[in-house]
Chain A
């Protein structure tokens, strides 16, 4: 069985006026009504909600809340949480349930509302994505990525300019994405002079605090609903230690390597067949390291991809043409699904100004915390 995506819905990312129930309602209704040949809600028997923290949403049982808007009370509904990898994980669970025969069609919805809280409170919520020791010592997410960034520069000779270039590229890409939170370009110098958050991570290395909602409808019989489905050709999940400090090589994302190897194997393709990638640049150095983990560059060579222009939108291996988490935004529960939607559009040739030519396969790397959980998805025609 090939599970395919037959419909999607995507809000703008940024500071949104709608509350969580309204975001769920609009996103679910839009994804259902966008099915080209139509679908009866009674044929959607699974609803998986990706939502990271109920301190953001102020809502327990969010799966059941979402069910209210599906017009099918017989569907099963629940929430999945894997920190920033929640969207990828929710998609993975839905796909597995379709393949196992537990569901025919599954709606995967991601939602997060973050901008109503202060940066300090948001930081206190996001630190929970780290290891218990990181929480105890106050090692925030930027600090944990700070360790990685510092060690990577020391080991491989990357520089702060390389990390800044990632942010510059992704802000440039976001200019062509109407959903993006930011439509503003920055220079390398501006990134390097931005406020220090947790050395060496600066404000303009960080993905922002964002509201947003996304949804994809998966089907075990995609041709029933559209002539042009995009198939999940391969998917894999991988894990590493929760804490960066515990890792044998803190400069490498082992979980994403494991997940991508599974995804490539099930898709029966090699990394070189991928034409476009969305990777989890929650902090700019992560893009470089994630590219290595999913096989787009050798270990320690990831930073050279951008120096050589290869991961630019017009390069031979465009990465984060959406603007990435950095500039498109990072409404955590919605993010992984939003990344899949970008590659879905790229494969269908419907990415507008952002379209990369001749995309047969694209890849999504969506990781949680500092890479303790990773979900990698290969999409194709």
Chain B
């Protein structure tokens, strides 16, 4: 598992999705310390706390056969 420190730039909580997605889920634009943007996923349990400007970290996790980056709030 890898981890990158990021800031939340924008997010959207998706209620209507293609078949196969469990809604709601979040997608977010984040920016790391080097200014690189990342498109990431936010898990259902983290949606209610989302706010632009929040700091967090990205963790790469395997979903089915794909590796995705997930945003987690800084504890």
A interface residues, Cβ below 8 angstroms from B: 119-121, 123-124, 127, 133-134, 136-140, 142-144, 146-147, 150-151, 154, 195-201, 243-246, 250
Contact = CB atoms under 8 A, between A and B. Distances in A.
B68 A151 contact: no
A120 B39 contact: no
B1 interface: no
Contacts of B52: 150, 154
A194 to B, nearest CB: 12
Contact of A197 (B10, B11, B16, B18): B16
Nearest to B70: A137
- Judged by DSSP, the binding face of A is helix
Given A124-B19, A127-B18, A143 B37 contact: no
A201 B12 contact: yes
Contacts of A139: 12, 14, 27, 39
7 contacts: A133-B39, A134-B39, A137-B41, A138-B41, A143-B14, A198-B16, A245-B38
Contacts of A127: 18
Interface of B: 9-19, 21, 25, 27, 29, 37-41, 52, 66, 68
B15 A198 contact: yes
B14 A140 contact: yes
Given A140-B17, A142-B14, A199-B12, 15 more contacts: A120-B19, A134-B39, A138-B21, A138-B25, A139-B12, A143-B14, A146-B10, A147-B11, A196-B13, A198-B13, A199-B13, A243-B39, A245-B29, A246-B37, A250-B29
B6 to A, nearest CB: 12
Contacts of B9: 151
Contacts of B41: 137-138
A120 B18 contact: yes
Contacts of A199: 11-13, 15
A146 B12 contact: yes
A250 B52 CA distance: 15
A324 B16 CA distance: 23
B19 A121 contact: yes
B17 A123 contact: yes
Contacts of B68: 136-137
Contacts of A138: 14, 17-18, 21, 25, 27, 41
A245 B39 contact: yes
A124 B29 contact: no
Contacts of A121: 18-19
Contacts of A147: 10-12, 29
Given A137-B40, A139-B27, A147-B29, A250 B15 contact: no
Contacts of B16: 119-120, 123, 140, 142, 197-198
A151 B10 contact: yes
A160 B55 CA distance: 25
A198 B12 CA distance: 6
A133 B66 CA distance: 12
A55 to B, nearest CB: 12
A120 B15 CA distance: 11
A250 B16 CA distance: 23
Nearest to A202: B15
A147 B15 CA distance: 15
A137 B21 CA distance: 10
B37 to A, nearest CB: 5
Contacts of B18: 120-121, 123-124, 127, 138, 140
A126 to B, nearest CB: 9
Nearest to A154: B52
Contacts of A246: 37
Contacts of B15: 195-199
A124 B14 CA distance: 13
A137 B26 CA distance: 9
B60 to A, nearest CB: 13
A209 B25 CA distance: 23
A246 B19 CA distance: 26
